[in-house]
């Protein structure tokens, strides 16, 4: 059984599963486990790891249109190195402070592989879910796409300082809050734009038609892409970007765009069925954690 089949098994048994975060009684809660071998390229500092681990959970809170309250992390490593733990804390507290969330520590453990499990808790009375997109809505993305893909290539090339900079991201909490009153459906792009569109399509029982030339491709992608085909892959299926993918009525677009601090780009429209880019089917490919 692969990860997606396993997640489907969970969804059958746990009605709260299926959005970026679970919704319970005015709270949203989300948890992620990250491992050195699969989630942190060689050269990732412990500060960047702390930033990204907590950032991934805060991005899920943002994708629900919720206000983060606090975040915790369980940190496991082959030894308790004070410098490494301090750097991790710098990153964890840094990303939490960037979105006005309190980092409240967690658990420490010895383990043969550096592993972090982060959890964030937020509040909202009116969460935005993956279900709710309506035919004719605009589909938009925040920020730029492919930033993490570009960072990944820089890690491969040994340019770790620039890679670490690019690899830290500000979770789109402010944008999520601004989008929430108008959004009909929303999720983050942690598995890449293509997979996000497929997941929104399935949850909302709709389709999407997007245009590649409309995508806000990060300048970093253009700098590292081998060719035009590679650029498309980095921008649409690499994932790990933690931008928001959101649907909203066309008439709300202009006012919302002004309220979103990080840029909001209309990339296409909600259709009856099928996920297409430039008129051709867009495959359901993307980041699979643990690959």
Task: List contacts with its own copies (CB under 8 A).
Answer: 1-3, 5-7, 9-10, 13-14, 16-17, 22, 24-25, 27, 29-33, 35, 38, 69-70, 72-74, 76, 79-82, 85-86, 89, 93, 102-113, 115, 117, 119, 121, 289-290
Q: Is 205 annotated as a binding residue?
A: no
In sequence order, which residues have a C-beta less than 8 Å from that of residue 83 and are 6 or more positions away?
A: none
Alpha-carbon span 86 to 92, nearest angstrom: 10
Q: Is 160 annotated as a binding residue?
A: no
CB 240 within 8 A of CB 289: no
State the nearest-atom distance from the C-beta of 125 to its own copies, in Å. 15
Q: Is 20 annotated as a binding residue?
A: yes
State the nearest-atom distance from the C-beta of 1 to its own copies, in Å. 4
Which tokens in the block code for residue 245?
Answer: 């993918």
Q: Is 51 annotated as a binding residue?
A: no
Q: Is 190 annotated as a binding residue?
A: yes
How crowded is the C-beta side of 94, counted as CA atoms within 13 Å? 17
Q: Is 90 annotated as a binding residue?
A: no
Alpha-carbon span 244 to 205, nearest angstrom: 19
Q: Is 174 annotated as a binding residue?
A: no
Of 121 and 246, the one with the shorter C-beta distance to its own copies is 121
Which tokens in the block code for residue 254?
Answer: 């202009």
Q: Is 211 annotated as a binding residue?
A: no
State the nearest-atom distance from the C-beta of 17 to its own copies, in Å. 4
- 179's enclosing H/E stretch is helix 173-179
State the nearest-atom distance from the C-beta of 23 to its own copies, in Å. 8
The string of DSSP letters for 90-145 reads: HHHHHHHHHTT-EEEEEEEEE-SS-EEEEEEEEE-SS---STT--TT-EEEEES-B
Of 105 and 181, the one with the shorter C-beta distance to its own copies is 105
Closest residue by Cα to residue 246 from 271, 262, 264:
264
State the nearest-atom distance from the C-beta of 223 to its own copies, in Å. 31
Is the Cα dihedral 275, 277, 280, 284 positive or negative?
negative
Of 67 and 137, the one with the shorter C-beta distance to its own copies is 67
Of 102 and 126, the one with the shorter C-beta distance to its own copies is 102
Query: What is the DSSP-derived secondary structure letter of residue 283?
Result: P
State the nearest-atom distance from the C-beta of 119 to its own copies, in Å. 4
CB 187 within 8 A of CB 20: yes
Of 36 and 243, the one with the shorter C-beta distance to its own copies is 36
Of 64 and 154, the one with the shorter C-beta distance to its own copies is 64
Residues placed in the known binding site for substrate? 39, 240, 287
Residues placed in the known binding site for Mg(2+)? 20, 30-32, 60, 107, 188, 191
Residues placed in the known binding site? 20, 30-32, 39, 60, 106-107, 130, 188, 190-191, 240, 287
């Amino acid at each position: 059984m692969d990860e997606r089949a396993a997640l489907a098994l969970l969804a059958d048994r746990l009605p709260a599963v299926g959005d970026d975060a679970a919704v319970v009684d005015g709270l949203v809660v989300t948890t992620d486990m990250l491992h050195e071998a699969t989630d942190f390229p060689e050269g990732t500092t412990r500060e960047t790891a702390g930033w990204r681990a907590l950032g991934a959970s805060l991005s899920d809170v943002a994708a629900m249109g919720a206000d983060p309250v606090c975040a915790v992390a369980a940190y496991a490593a082959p030894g308790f190195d004070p410098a490494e733990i301090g750097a991790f804390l710098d990153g964890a507290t840094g990303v939490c402070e960037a979105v006005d969330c309190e980092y409240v520590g967690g658990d420490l453990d010895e383990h043969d592989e550096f592993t972090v499990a982060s959890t964030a808790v937020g509040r909202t009375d009116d969460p935005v879910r993956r279900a709710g997109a309506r035919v004719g809505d605009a589909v938009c993305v925040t920020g730029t796409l492919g930033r993490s893909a570009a960072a990944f290539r820089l890690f491969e090339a040994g340019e770790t300082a620039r890679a670490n900079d690019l690899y830290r991201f500000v979770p789109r909490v402010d944008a999520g809050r601004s989008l929430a009153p108008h959004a009909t459906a929303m999720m983050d792009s942690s598995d890449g734009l293509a997979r996000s569109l497929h997941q929104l399509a399935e949850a909302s029982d709709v389709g999407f038609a997007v245009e590649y030339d409309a995508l806000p491709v990060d300048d970093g992608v253009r700098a590292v892409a081998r060719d035009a085909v590679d650029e498309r892959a980095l921008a649409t299926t690499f994932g790990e970007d933690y931008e928001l993918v959101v649907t909203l009525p066309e008439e709300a677009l202009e006012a919302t765009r002004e309220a979103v601090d990080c840029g909001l780009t209309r990339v296409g429209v909600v259709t009856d069925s099928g996920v297409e880019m430039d008129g051709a089917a867009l495959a359901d490919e993307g980041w699979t954690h643990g690959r």
